[in-house]
Amino acid sequence: MDIRLVPNEYDPLLLEEYMLNLQNRLSELDEMQEGFDGLRDVIVRGFYMRFGVIQYQSAGYTIKTRIKEFESTNYEDVSAHEGHIQVPLYDKPVETSSTESVNGYNLYDSSGPLVTKDTFQRVVPLFLSKDPEMGYDEFKTRMKDTCCSDWGKMDANGEPFPKEFWNDDVEEPWNLTLDNNCEKMYALPFPKAFLLWTIKHGCDRREESVRDSNFLGVWFSRKCM
């Protein structure tokens, strides 16, 4: 019976059959929704395996069967190999101290997550990617298009108005300060696309600086070890 047709309201048998049919269809839709919700989560996890894990070769599998197969795999324990990347554990504990210096910058005191799980999953591919080398000129242009104005008012550690540039003897201190920060950002040993993300993330939190970007890079690297 086509459930789009409204039955004759004066025929109780037809109405009962219609309602039973409708309930069955609604149950099927609920199951499908459940399946697609689970499949969405599986695809997100499988994405980090560079699609090598997700292969839909058999049309005979139902959505729920395929979900059960994927959920039986512990993606966090899958070793990295050619064409795949290892998925780091979001809940892996990472502690840092402000007395610890890495890449020439002190870290910050931290023992908890620095980003949400959704952000972590979105940014991990940027951090682990082996992107083509981005030249300094391109990076500088993209950084200037991305950063907030405070990057031209502070030194690499986030201290405001560095005297090196902000004094009576220097013209255009804002531009010189920003250029200096661009150079120091580019020198950090992390993927350039990831560094550009840290710039926007820092500005959104009002904690932008070379030190903050370096701190995020160290935190992600320890999560991914």
Q: 134-156 pLDDT, tens per residue?
A: 899 999 999 999 999 999 999 99
Model pTM score: 0.62
pLDDT in tens, 46-55: 544 444 333 3
Give the confidence band of 107 by pLDDT, cuts at 50, 70, 90: very high
Contact at 8 Å (CB) between 216 and 203? no
Buried b (16+ CB within 10 A) or exposed e, 158-173: eeeebeebbeeeeeeb
Compute the distance between CA of residue 154 and CA of residue 147 in angstroms, rounded to an integer: 13
Sequence-distant (6+) residues with CB within 8 A of 142 are: 134, 196
Q: Tell how far CA 33 is from the center of its chain.
A: 25
Mean pLDDT taken over the chain: 76
Q: Which residue has the tokens 């972590």?
A: 120
171-184 confidence digits (pLDDT tens): 999 999 999 999 99
Q: Which DSSP string corresponds to 32-83?
A: HHHHHHHHHHHHHHHHTTTTSS-----TTS-HHHHHHHHHTS-GGGPPP-TT
Instruction: Mean pLDDT check: name the lowest of 18-22, 30-34, 111-115, 187-191.
Output: 18-22
Mean pLDDT of 77-95: 56
pLDDT at 92: 85
Mean pLDDT of 62-82: 44
